[in-house]
Amino acid sequence: MRAARDGWRLATGTLTVVRVGAPATVDAGCARWAMLLAPVAVLPLGLAVALVVWLGSLVPLPPLAVAGVAIGVLSLGSRALHWDGLSDTFDGLTASYDPDRSLAVMKTGTSGPAGSVGVALVALVQAAAFSAYVDTWASALLAGALVCLSRCALWIVCCTLVPPARGDGLGVLHTRTVPVPVAVVGGLLLSVTGGLVVVALVRRTVRRFGGVTGDVMGACIELALATTLLTWAWV
């Protein structure tokens, strides 16, 4: 299936630093497959995190320090793309009640006070949650699996019911490509709580911006990961 192969290449090249060949064709079908295959495309990142967490459990290091390294590895493996999206989304939501002004702020690429604080808080939550998995090899594998599952957030953001906020950018190609039933499954795979957080952010951004952007996609991934890690740590 050519579309699926192109979609895998698009997802891997966009969501990870793994070098793959360029898609032969980038269209709606390719974008749909890219979103559907996102959890599989980041499998190398999940394995890397699982390895760091497992090795951390074998040495006399504070679990929080190991968690920090895991977040660092994950950030490097994704070019910190989602953290940038989280920062821009927080800045946009606090910049103005005017949609155009908010989108302009998000497009500048600079991190304002809200974005900086938001990134710090979510990173702190992720670190605290990751530290709970620095225990056994099974816990480490679970942490890696949750990294992959957090990308199911894209199934919700790119649901056919969610419009793009702009007429250009990453959001235009990927939004409205994932069927509603798949988005529902994504919410369930995010331990429900993660799905609810993503839905809440999507609803908020649609009301504020008129739709979602690539930045919102990144923000949803980081929030989904934090929430899902916390949920499984508590369970």
Look at residue 168 in the predicted model and tell me its pLDDT: 78
The rounded distance, in Å, linking the Cα atoms of 125 and 131 is 10
| Selection from 75, 90, 66, 28 nearest residue 220 by Cα | 90
Look at residue 109 in the predicted model and tell me its pLDDT: 74
The 10s digit of each residue's pLDDT in 16-54 is 999 998 898 889 899 999 999 999 999 999 999 999 999
Residues 6+ apart with CB under 8 A from 179: 159, 160
Q: Which two tokens stand for residue 31?
A: 């974008």
H and E: helices and strands count for the chain: 14, 0
The 10s digit of each residue's pLDDT in 54-102 is 999 999 899 999 999 999 999 999 999 999 999 999 999 998 888 999 9
Helix/strand/coil for 164? strand
Look at residue 25 in the predicted model and tell me its pLDDT: 87
Q: Is the pLDDT of residue 14 over 90?
A: yes
Look at residue 170 in the predicted model and tell me its pLDDT: 67
* Helical spans, DSSP H, in 37-179: 38-41, 43-58, 63-77, 81-95, 99-107, 113-131, 137-150, 153-157, 170-174
The 10s digit of each residue's pLDDT in 141-198 is 999 999 999 999 999 999 999 999 987 776 788 999 999 999 999 999 999 999 999 9
The 10s digit of each residue's pLDDT in 191-222 is 999 999 999 999 999 999 999 999 999 999 99
Helix/strand/coil for 219? helix
| Selection from 36, 30, 28, 29 nearest residue 9 by Cα | 30
One-letter amino acid for residue 188 of the chain: L
pTM of the model: 0.96
Task: Please work out, in degrees rounded to the nearest 5, the angle formed at the alpha carbon of residue 20 by the alpha carbons of 18 and 23.
Answer: 135
